[in-house]
Chains A and B, each alone.
Chain A
Amino acid sequence: MSENITKEELQQDENLIYCKSKVLTDNEFHYCPGCGHGTVHRIIAEVVEEMGIQGQTIGVAPVGCSVLAYNYFDFDCQGAAHGRAPAVATAIKRLLPDRYVFTYQGDGDLAAIGTAETIHACNRGENIAIIFINNGIYGMTGGQMAPTTLEGMKTATSPYGRSIADTGSPLRITEMIAILPGTHYVTRQAVHSPAAVRKTKKAIRKAFENQDLKQGLSFIEIVSNCNSGWKMNPRQANDWMVEHMFPYYPLGDIKVDGQLVK
């Protein structure tokens, strides 16, 4: 190849190895740099694009940092009230059984205020996907304690560290819903490295494909960082996540094809 190749010569389709998914809009992400939300959005958009289901996909956004997720996905979306996305998605899927329906929820949304909706949608075996971003904190409201906050972790409402005696243990809701017969696929993933991103993408694709099988709900927890809430830079946040979050929230499949993984 010539050394003085022009930009135009370089920007040929055959040279293209990576680009923004067509299923993402041109709106600029409002997320803090290094936050996992943006990465997961990108993966979801890629899966929808690759499966060719942009016109059949309906997403349900939560209340939390990803409340504006619908501005980034270029498919039809609804924004649910705080914690109620699984109820909203339940009705969408029941009324439009051939659409691909998913919720996107944070840990406060899914495992605190929306616990009942989460458990019952899972228990009914709704043929939807739930994508659950566990960053151990309430990002949107300024870093308060979440049900998933680790013991000893300092947050705005646990300034001396989370006390189990006062607030109970960090909630492993994913393990809880895995024992329900209504869930078909339950996995815990992360997006802190290229390898993890690839695995998460596979999991999300499976969760969408599972909707054709009508065998029950697919639940993907993604352990993620909230570098702003954790008061770390993105690099430190990812390292801290690997060191502290992963031991308590171990990555990997928990239930596959309706069978618990042992």
Chain B
Amino acid sequence: MKSIIKLFTLLTLVTFFSCDKDEPATTGSMEVEFDNIAIVNGIQQQLTMATPGSATYGYTNSLGQKFNINLLRYYISAIELEATDGKVYKDVLEATASGTKGYYLIDESKPASQVIELANLPSGKYNKITFTVGVDSTGVLNGATGGALDPATSKMFWNWNSGYIALKFEGQSDASNGGVSGAETITADNAKGMAYHIGGWKNIPGTAFVYNNKRISFDFDTDAIVDAKSSPHVHMTFDVLGLFNGHHKVDFTGNHNVHKPSDGVDIAHNMEESFSFDHIHQ
């Protein structure tokens, strides 16, 4: 009998909590900006994009090869914020045909896409952010998905080997010998084109199913205080040159047409190291 009473209490408790529709006492919001930049000689510069087909090269990789950028797009997903009291806020992840939550497609050609608004955040002092660059299995295995993951509008899906491209870079280099296929801004007859489509969400050792999405964390230098009155702005940067000049020095001669997970491993590693936390506007 005693155990039945215990069970009853438990059940009541469960009912109570599972249907709790009340918001926490106060909530606020936060903006997380992903600012795509170029770090040249240690100095941050705003990114300059070139029109497709342009042979004007504003950037140089660490091997001295000149290049430009036509397209830059990547997914940020599964954002988590950690508060100073140890509580973790997880941005809701949802992928259905009618839309998505928690998947953000950052597109250099669309300034509005570079600022992620996290609304209904419990009030608190946040000092750490974690996010995934790319789309993990739940985003893929739900089948055709709308919103940020719509394959027709995002153009970030690999048909032949189901999965989302985490990061798409297209441009031109005088070192490239062309012949790029399957690119958006580079035509097949472009003798200097480059396409780096980086992705891969499975991990099966001994096969080409390599995991190239990256889960990255940053501590903030000051606390981001969220409450009903203040909505801080967190400024992250992504150094595009780091894709090629990072840990792995990327040679644009002969390795400039990347369209599958196994070919993107080094650049995915560089990509991970090209994100930085910059500052917070309170």
- Chain B binds chain A: no
Which residues in A have some Cβ–Cβ distance to B below 8 Å?
Answer: none
